Amino acid sequence: MRSMENTIYFASVNCSLRFQESATCLITPSGQCQAYLPYGQEGVLVQAINIEEATGLIAARYAPERYQEFPL
């Protein structure tokens, strides 16, 4: 929900435990699960993302001062 609410990518990272309550996963700005590691499985999740999808548009409405572009 946070990824959709803020139009950003969201990554959740968890340890590999038998009864963990969340998974290691990557959620797209549209709220879709792009990839995950199965519960209890050790591993590294590596994914390519399209940063143009992560506009921060909705989040910027509430705190525009946090989403200004920085000069290079």
pTM score, two decimals?
Answer: 0.71
Whole-angstrom distance, CA of residue 24 vs CA of residue 22: 7
The count of residues in the chain is 72
Q: What residue has token string 């590691």? A: 37
Q: What DSSP character marks residue 34?
A: E
One-letter amino acid for residue 71 of the chain: P
Q: How many domains does the chain have?
A: 1
Assigned domain for 70 exists: no
CB 43 within 8 A of CB 67: no
Per-position DSSP letters for 49-69, written without gaps between them = --GGG---HHHHHH-GGGGPP
Per-residue pLDDT, 61: 75
Q: Please report whether residue 49 resides in a domain.
A: yes
Please check whether residue 72 lies inside any domain of the structure.
Answer: no
Question: pLDDT digits over 11-53, tens only?
Answer: 888 766 666 667 789 999 988 999 998 877 778 899 999 988 8
